[in-house]
């Protein structure tokens, strides 16, 4: 299928003008958004590419059913309990693994992120029975970013870029991600799937973007379980400390769960594209 987004991205996207700050939050039903992306009406193509490149963050309601997310949490929690925390480089044959990113492990990374993550890859089958449902939606964002619908889908690490699924538990008391920007080379947007609801599953913190003047712009306020959020990858974002002061328990399943997909550069290529930390102090947007 001809990709009209690609043409426009090639025209406007360059090193000097990529967005660093978020502008508006645009809410839309996911189904409506998906249909419009595939329709490629020239007006929608232009408007949406320009909007995303200007820093608008889209909150797409009901991208997944609540039940899909609840079941996925159960399955991942089961994986967390079924074996030790591991780490593998993204090289040929890389298995799925879960990893505890505690404060100690987090120090080894270029930006602090405290969470418990499960990473899984398309070449290892679909033991949880969720890959097709996720891919169906991921393809829409790939296409919107100017890529083929199935870009990278069948790649393995030797190809240099692979699709990686992740579910993370941001546990109460310490779960967080420092403000950063994501690599934009392989995937033009951050893609966040919301699995928990603030005020129900946890009380404080969660996903934010940074708006002009280094203001922390809270996204969770508008979020329901099953929503998907996308924004241009270089927009500064992070996860504000979840439920400060609560006792830390890595073995439980409470707190904030999150689901994310990324087309990662693998360890089989030199100088792989990685995220960048940004050390700034943020003020809260009132
Ligand atoms: Fe990120």
Domains of the chain: which residue ranges?
4-284
Cα gap 212→235, rounded to integer Å: 11
Its pTM surpasses 0.75: yes
Q: What is the enclosing helix (H) or strand (E) of 193?
A: strand 189-194
Phi, psi of 89 (to 5 degrees): -70, 155
Backbone angles phi, psi at 273, to 5 degrees: -70, 125
Report CA(30)–ligand 1 centroid distance (Å): 21
Q: How far is the CA of 192 from the centre of ligand 1 (A)?
A: 9
Q: Which residues contact 254 (CB under 8 A, 6 or more apart)?
A: 171, 172, 201, 202
CA atoms within 13 A on the CB side of 52: 27
Cα 78 to middle of ligand 1, angstroms:
25
C-alpha 167 – ligand 1 centre gap (Å) = 13
- What does the pLDDT read at residue 9? 97
As given in the structure block, the two tokens for residue 3 are: 């990709």
Fold of 4-284: Jelly Rolls (2.60.120)
In sequence order, what are the beta bridge partners of 61?
Answer: 29
260 Cα–ligand 1 center, Å: 9
Distance (Å) from CA 238 to ligand 1 centroid: 7
**Is residue 96 within 8 Å of 75, Cβ to Cβ?**
no
pLDDT tens-digit profile, the chain (286 residues): 899 999 999 999 999 999 999 999 999 999 999 999 999 999 999 999 999 999 999 999 999 999 999 999 999 999 999 999 999 999 999 999 999 998 887 777 777 899 999 999 999 999 999 999 999 999 999 999 999 999 999 999 999 999 999 999 999 999 999 999 999 999 999 999 999 999 999 999 999 999 999 999 999 999 999 999 999 999 999 999 999 999 999 999 999 999 999 999 999 988 777 778 788 889 887 6
CA distance 161 to 266: 6
Is the C-alpha dihedral spanning 130, 132, 135, 140 positive or negative? negative
CA of 275 to the centre of ligand 1 (A): 7
Q: 61 near 94, Cβ under 8 Å?
A: no
Given a contact cutoff of 8 angstroms between Cβ atoms, the answer to whether 169 and 136 are in contact is no
Please tell me the distance between residue 153's alpha carbon and the centre of ligand 1 in angstroms: 21
């Amino acid at each position: 299928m001809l990709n009209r987004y690609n043409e426009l991205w090639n025209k406007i996207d360059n090193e000097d003008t990529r967005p660093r700050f978020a502008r508006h939050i645009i809410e839309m039903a996911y189904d409506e958004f998906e249909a419009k992306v595939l329709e490629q009406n020239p007006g929608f193509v232009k408007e949406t590419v320009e909007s995303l490149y200007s820093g608008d963050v889209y909150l797409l309601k009901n991208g997944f059913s609540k039940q899909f997310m609840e079941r996925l949490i159960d399955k991942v929690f089961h994986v967390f309990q079924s074996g030790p925390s591991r780490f593998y480089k993204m090289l040929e044959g890389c298995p799925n693994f879960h990893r505890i990113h505690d404060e100690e492990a987090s120090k080894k990374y270029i930006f602090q992120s405290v969470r418990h993550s499960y990473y899984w890859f398309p070449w290892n089958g679909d033991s949880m029975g969720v890959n097709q449902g996720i891919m169906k939606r991921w393809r829409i964002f790939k296409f919107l970013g100017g890529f083929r619908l199935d870009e990278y889908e069948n790649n393995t690490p030797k190809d240099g870029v692979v699709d990686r699924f992740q579910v993370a538990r941001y546990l109460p008391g310490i779960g967080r991600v420092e403000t950063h920007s994501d690599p934009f080379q392989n995937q033009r947007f951050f893609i966040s799937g919301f699995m928990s609801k603030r005020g129900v599953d946890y009380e404080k913190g969660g996903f934010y973007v940074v708006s002009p003047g280094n203001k922390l712009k809270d996204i969770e306020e508008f979020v329901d379980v099953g929503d998907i959020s996308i924004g241009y990858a270089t927009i500064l974002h992070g996860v504000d400390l979840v439920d400060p002061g609560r006792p830390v328990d890595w073995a439980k399943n409470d707190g904030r769960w999150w689901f994310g997909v990324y087309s990662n550069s693998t360890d089989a290529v030199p100088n792989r594209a990685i995220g960048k930390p940004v050390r700034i102090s943020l003020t809260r947007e009132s």
